[in-house]
Amino acid sequence: MTTVKLQDVDVMIEQKKILHGISFEVGAGEFIGLIGPNGSGKSTLLKTIASLQPIASGKIHINGKEVHDYKPKQLAKVISYVPQDTTLDFDFTVEEIVKMGRHVHGSRFSLNDTEGVVQIEQAMRYTGIIQLRNRSMLSLSGGQRQLVFIAKALAQETPIILLDEPISALDIRFQLQVLVMLKALSKSGKTVVVVLHDLNLASRFCTKLLLLNEGRTLGFGTTANVLRADYVNSTYKVNAIVRKDDLTEAVSVTALSPDDKQ
């Protein structure tokens, strides 16, 4: 079943066209990686799907219904969004932030609903932050804050999860842990769309990739079809070798420096 569908979507920011004619469909159980160079429009595209960024033209359907036809609270029951920037201006504890994911289910700061308590607890355990539950968000490292916002999205229990560079501040153990968790969520039937810079991890974990170049889709499909040397080299302006990794059997991309042996 198609859960997210974009048809010829244009986005303008300050009179400049940032996204040009973006069209693609994602189904339940898919794990889509949005990739592309800095400034290519990945975050804008994710915000657009989350309805946080207005569109200039085109159509977006979420679960078969036009995104404009959703009330904000209805949409928050369907889509959770983990932003790239997890800094906060106000102080909250870790648990308070995760609980905010339950607002949409009507349990604002109250733990009267047992389901909410269970979901909050599970989300904190799943992301490995349970021991931080009473810590102030302002005292956490960037990676710990990322895990808290992922936990908040999990507590929200939506069928569609959008995450903007959720592993950018994480060490290799937590990078793997988060990607394995997102993969498991997609396998359980959720739609996961994630902005990733690490092409090798994107290749290993995502079912499909969407490669953006200057606000346009250069490729959308299986990792092997999108991570082609010609696409990678022309978009990222590098000299990359694309091959199959012997160990993971995923497509692997190595950008060569002038000093590398070839």
Q: Which is nearer to ligand ATP, 77 or 216 (CB)?
A: 216
User: Could you say which residues in the range 66-105 bind ligand ATP, by CB under 6 A?
Assistant: none
Q: Which of 26, 35, 43, 227 binds ligand ATP (CB under 6 A)?
A: 43
> In the 8-state DSSP scheme, what is residue 171?
-
15 is a contact residue toward ligand ATP (CB under 6 A): no
Distance of alpha carbon 63 from alpha carbon 91, whole angstroms: 35
Which of 5, 6, 9, 44 is the binder for ligand ATP (CB under 6 A)?
44
The Cα–Cα gap between 99 and 155 comes to: 7
Q: Which stretch binds ligand ATP (CB under 6 A): 42-50, 56-64, 120-128, 178-186?
A: 42-50
Q: Which is nearer to ligand ATP, 18 or 251 (CB)?
A: 18
36 binds ligand ATP (CB under 6 A): yes
* Residue from the set 6, 22, 35, 41 that interacts with ligand ATP by CB under 6 A: 41
Alpha helices in 83-196 (DSSP H): 94-100, 114-126, 142-156, 172-187
- CA angle centred on 201, ends 26 and 236, rounded to 5°: 85
**What residues contact 1, with CB distance under 8 A and at least 6 apart?**
27, 28
For 213, residues 6+ apart whose C-beta sits below 8 A from its C-beta are: 36, 37, 40, 234, 235
Does 13 help bind ligand ATP (rule: CB under 6 A)? yes
Q: Minimum Å distance from CB 213 to ligand ATP?
A: 10
* Site for ligand ATP, rule CB under 6 A: 13-14, 18, 36, 38-44
